[in-house]
Amino acid sequence: MRVLFSVLLCGALLVPARAQEPAPKTPAKPAAKAAAKVDPMAKLEKIGAGELRLDGKITAILGEGVWQIQATSWTSPRGVSTDFDEPKNKGVTVAKSADIHPRGEPEAVPLRDVTLSSRVAIIGKNSADGSIIAREVILLEGYGSRRTVGAVTTSPFTWALVKQSRDARDAGQLPKALMLIDKAISTAKGVGDVSGEGLATQDKALLHADLEQPQEAFAAFTRVQTIGRTLGNSLLLSLGLNGGASMLRASGENAKALELLKEADTASTNSEAAIHLSILGNLATTYLLAGQLQNGVATLNRVHPLEDRAGKEGDAGETLLLVAALTATERPTAARQALTEVQPRIDRARDEKSKAGLVGAAALVRWRLGEKDAARAGFTQAAQMLQTAGAGGEAKRWEGMAARLEGADENWQSFFMAASGIKKRAKAEGEGNTPPAEAPPAENAPA
């Protein structure tokens, strides 16, 4: 984890696949006699007696119609939903007669088109072997005419404007991007697309942060939190809390930032790994800035197993080394053991930037152990590797590392501030504990 050099601000949601344009409809021939209209959704997305609904993600496809899912919640026939404390693995057999369709849409999707990692809701009954026989499979994202981003579904009208705004942001046209995202928010409100409003408001917050407008950013992140709470959408809530905490921390309000991040940690437990890792990294950094070493280290020790599970071996190694560096003076034997354990990761690393990060982090541990000549050699090696990889900006951090550490005190917090490059913000006289801005009353808040 690059916690040493990154003040983590929650990023924009992942861009979904391009929308499928609906096929042009052929005008129907007039019927000889008016037929009774039947709602095609009338029998779908209903949980029958003796059935249950499981929401989760497909983690394995073991054969045709034989899956394993990681379930995050279940719903009873009465419509009562319960989140699992920890995701549960469940076997699924899709019945040959099963209805497979996008959420809220009756059009059937072929079984063969359902892919690994799809988010699904399974409605069916438990079998004798503990698996569930699926009578209906609801595709929660990535299928049909509505767009889904993470766990946020938007109307195509909202999404089109969000996409234009992101394109403008990528091109460095921030005022244009802000104008487009404001239009997206207005459009979402106009069509009753509350989730889309939350998605667009998250982007608005990030744009205000880019424009160095912390009050406006904080207000927008707060609105995202409100929408997330109202909808019961843990993804929007997590992103709003994480972003609001980043704004508070930037203004020196570490205690208030920690309150938001603790809630975000809980809310994001079942979110995508990248989002939960971002929030945990933010939480660990804020604990350390607040002088809470024990809590900071405990959080970092939650991070590196998640990074390993996500296949981020280099990041996990850096996190292990950061813990070792922070605690080296009190636990030198453990710090040296961490150096030994991480060395195979350095040897295996093929990406020069990742290897440089590990080499530099190992040098920080050696600095804290008093092996300063070896540490300086490590900083130099990391800088050279980054220069070779064409990352001159990142190389400068390691080139100046020894000088920054020489000017720091011996305690862990001074070391962390110098190594990370974060400057401690001194509060102005009379500033007190005021957040960057009081969020204005939410307009058109959903009921």
- Span of 18-22, 131-135, 310-314, 339-343 with lowest mean pLDDT: 18-22
Residue 433: C-alpha distances to residues 169, 262, 430, 436 (Å):
33, 19, 9, 10
User: CATH code at 176?
Assistant: 1.25.40.10
Residue 39 in any domain: the answer is no
State whether 257 and 323 are in the same domain: no
Boundary residue ending a domain (113, 145, 177): 145
Structure token pair of residue 158: 């909202």
Measured CA angle at 307 (ends 270, 152), to 5 deg? 35
User: CATH code at 92?
Assistant: 2.40.50.320
For the segment 17-43, the average pLDDT, to the nearest whole number, is 47
Name the 3-class secondary structure at 136. strand
C-alpha neighbours within 13 Å on the C-beta side of residue 252: 10
Beta strand segments in 296-345, E = none
- The answer to whether residue 77 scores a pLDDT higher than 80 is yes
Query: For helices 156-170 and 194-210, what crossing angle results, to 10°?
Result: 10
* Nearest by Cα to 44 from 93, 99, 97: 99
- The answer to whether residue 22 scores a pLDDT higher than 50 is no
* Nearest by Cα to 321 from 283, 355, 292, 270: 355
Its pTM stands at 0.64
Residue 19 in any domain: the answer is no
Name the 3-class secondary structure at 67. strand
Boundary residue ending a domain (126, 145, 164): 145
State whether 118 and 160 are in the same domain: no
Residue 77 in any domain: the answer is yes
Residue 416 CB-density burial (10 A; 0-12 exposed, 13-18 middle, 19+ buried): buried
Q: What is the pLDDT of residues 335-385, one digit of tens each?
A: 999 999 999 999 998 888 889 999 999 999 999 999 999 999 999 999 999
Residue 93 in any domain: the answer is yes
Residue 445 in any domain: the answer is no
| H helix intervals, 142-253 | 156-170, 174-190, 194-210, 214-231, 234-250
Residue 429 in any domain: the answer is no
Q: What is the pLDDT of residues 116-152, one digit of tens each?
A: 878 899 999 999 988 999 999 998 766 665 444 446 7
381-383-384-387 Cα dihedral, nearest 10 degrees: 160
- The answer to whether residue 430 scores a pLDDT higher than 60 is no
State whether 383 and 312 are in the same domain: yes
State whether 92 and 155 are in the same domain: no
How, if at all, do strands 132-139 and 147-149 pair?
unpaired
The residue type found at 440 is: P
What residues are paired with 154 via a beta bridge?
147
- The answer to whether residue 190 scores a pLDDT higher than 60 is yes
What residues are paired with 149 via a beta bridge?
152
Residue 428 in any domain: the answer is no
The residue type found at 363 is: A
More confident residue, 29 or 148: 148
Taking only Cα atoms into account, the Rg of the chain, rounded to an integer number of angstroms, comes to 25
Can you give the residue range of the structural domain that contains 398? Answer: 291-421
Structure token pair of residue 179: 């104008």
Residue 21 in any domain: the answer is no
Structure token pair of residue 281: 């990294």
Q: What is the pLDDT of residues 90-126, one digit of tens each?
A: 999 999 999 999 888 888 999 988 888 788 999 999 9
Number of domains in the chain: 3
- Span of 4-13, 83-92, 242-251 with lowest mean pLDDT: 4-13
